[in-house]
Each structure stands twice: as C-alpha cells, then as structure tokens.
Amino acid sequence: MANVLLVSTLGSASREEARLRELFRNFAVELFPFDPTRKRQMFWQLQRRIAVARPDLVAMEGTGLAGGLALLLGRLRGVPYVVSSGDAVGPWVGAHVRWAGPLFGLYERLLCRGAAGYIGWTPYLVGRALTFGTPRGVTAAGWAPFPRTIDESAAARVRVRERLGIPPGALVLGIAGSMVWNARTGSCYGHEIVEALRRVKRPDAYGLLVGDGTGLARLRALAAGLPAGRVVFTGRVPAGEVPDYLAAMDLGSLPQSVDRCGGFRYTTKLSEYVAAGLPVVTTAVPMGYDLDDGWVVRVPGPAPWHPTALAGLATILDGMTPERLASLRAAVPRGLPLFDRERQVARVTAFVRELLAERGVTA
C-alpha cells in the first residue's frame, strides 16, 4: 500500500488542505501539520519528515517557498512529489513585489521541473507546468463545498436582502473573497465594484462585498461618497453561509488582470458562482471565453483597476435590463462537469495511481 504525505503551505485546517485531502481520499495518507506563520521551522521539519519517513509520494497544495524547497531537497533523496496550485507563481509574486517576480519565476520553474506530476486548478496552469518540465499533469478546478437547491437559494435571496437592507428589485453586483490590498496596483477584490458604482447613473445599482482583509477599510472610505447603503460590507462570514450571500447577488464579479498573472486563473470563487447560478462579470482572460455559453459578461481593459475597465463595468450596470439579466441567469450551467467534485477525485485518483505504478508502487 502506497504511503502518501500531504502538505498544504496555506496551513493545516485550511480550505486548501481540505481540497487536497478530498482529492487524495482514495489513498492512505499522512498529513503534515504546516504552520504558515513559522515558515523556517516548517521547512526544516518537513524536509526531516521526508528524509526519515521516505514516503512513496509527497503531494503539496500551494507553492510556498518553505514547502517547495523541502520537496526539492526530498527529490534529491529520491522521494517524488506532485504539486497542486491555482496560480502562476512568478507573475503572481511580481504583481505584488516587482523585483521578486523573476526570483520566484525561477523557483516555479525548478519546482515544476523536479515534480513527478502537477495538479492544476486550470488547464492553463497544467500547460504552464508541462512547459516548465513537469512530465505529466491533470486538472482539478475545485468545487462548491456548500451547494444549495434552487428553492433554498430563492429563500436565502429574500432573507439576506431583507437583513442587509437591499431592495428586492435592486441590481446587485457582488463578490466573495479576501480583500487584500495590493499597494502596487492600488486595488483589491471589491475595488472594481465600488469604483464602478461611483460612475453608475442608475439609482438601483448596489454592491455586496462578502469578506475582509487589509483593503476593507480603504473600500469603506471609498464608498463613503456614495448614498448610504449602496455598498454593503458584510465582513468575514462563516464559509457555510457564503452561498446564501451569493444568492442575494445578481452578478458575480471575477476581477482578473489580463496578463500572465490573471490569465492562468479561474479563482476559487468561480465554482461557487456557478453553483449559485450567478452570471459572471470578468475581463478578457481565457476563462471568460472558454467557459462562456451565454453567462459571462466581459469588461474591456487590461486590468480591473484600469479606468477603461471601471468605465466599462459602469456601462454594463447602467445598461443591464431585467430581460438581459434573466437571459444570463438562464444560461448559467448548474451541473458544469469541470466543477464536479466526484469527477475531479476520480481523475486525480487515476493520475496518482498510474504515477505510482510506474515506480512499482501499488496504491
């Protein structure tokens, strides 16, 4: 029986670790308790665990440096590893700290080249890993962890709007996620919603921002110039309640830069938007075309914080009619195979079993 060691550089008990455990649920696994606040200690402890236990395979969710370096060191000792990631590492780091981008780009290449396999959150990331030298890959795009029935969503829509003071007939553009301020771009998730509403002419357009982060105070200050209640901030809510807030929205914002950072991503929110039957507003990234069967609205511009995109988003909101919104909602696929949990688990199970079999290990 294969011995598989799992580690998430996002931390033990994180949503990312839960994803990894689910994808590997058909294997005998051991969890490494990674603490992201103690990265240096985690590197030494993880590489020691790999050296002593010598698992048949190490699977890592995320691409944190402490975990990745431990995996690379273990690879020199003959222990293979696979990486699961939802971001292009070099471009993502470079989007926050310009000088660090090339260094982490080199690290990303080394990590992919040394990997026995790659589990990408998108097919674009799998292709990127293959280009960097990973011999094989599979896509696991994630899933909505707390699905609702249509009736449950309808009831939640009425209940949440009433509690938040949003009129029943209002047009609500919303987002759920971490609002971490990026000093380089001067934005974060939700920034595009507040800025667009500052440009909108119709009085019944509202913003609903679910989550918190270092950018929340800035967004509140930016929204202070709007009529009271036009932008609703919920702060952090329990994960199991997020679908109820999504039900209160009419459109879900998926702000991505049109470059090597945003172009490779879906983000974890997409599967939840789809499960909630929520049309998506995004930029001209590949996902916005590849998955569009009539439920994706694209804004112009190179990035969600760019003036062209903000003006375009305001124009979309001003021109959104009930008929257009109904058409978008009707086109959202409720059972998109890409986000089906069981299919993803089956794909990853086959992928890992065959990878291990090539090394003479029975899973």
- Give domain 150-336's CATH architecture: 3-Layer(aba) Sandwich (3.40)
Is the pLDDT at 9 greater than 90? The verdict is yes
Considering the entire predicted model, what is its pTM?
A: 0.94
Model pLDDT for residues 74-131, shown as the tens digit of each residue? 999 999 999 999 999 999 999 889 899 999 999 999 999 999 999 999 999 999 999 9
Rounded to the nearest angstrom, the gap between the alpha carbon of residue 73 and the centroid of all alpha carbons in its chain is 28
Computed on alpha carbons and rounded to an integer, the radius of gyration of the chain in Å comes to 21
Q: Which residues pair with 207 in a beta bridge?
A: 173, 231
Residue with tokens 């989007």: 95
Query: What residue spans in the chain does CATH classification 3.40.50.2000 cover?
Result: 4-142+340-357, 150-336
3-state secondary structure 285-332: CHHHHHCCCCCEEECCCCCCCCHHHHHHHHHHHHHCCHHHHHHHHHHC
Going by C-alpha positions, the residue among 85, 91, 27, 13 that lies closest to residue 57 is 27
Model pLDDT for residues 282-304, shown as the tens digit of each residue? 999 999 999 999 999 999 999 99
Tell me, what's the pLDDT at 161?
Answer: 98
Model pLDDT for residues 175-228, shown as the tens digit of each residue? 999 999 999 999 999 999 999 999 999 999 999 999 999 999 999 999 998 999
Alpha-helix runs per DSSP H in 29-149: 39-53, 65-76, 89-96, 100-114, 123-131
Domain 4-142+340-357, CATH among 3.50.50.60, 3.40.50.2000, 3.40.50.720, 2.60.40.420: 3.40.50.2000
Q: How many residues does the chain have?
A: 363
Name the DSSP class of 262.
G
Model pLDDT for residues 321-352, shown as the tens digit of each residue? 999 999 999 999 988 999 999 999 999 999 99
> What number is the average pLDDT over the span 54-63?
97
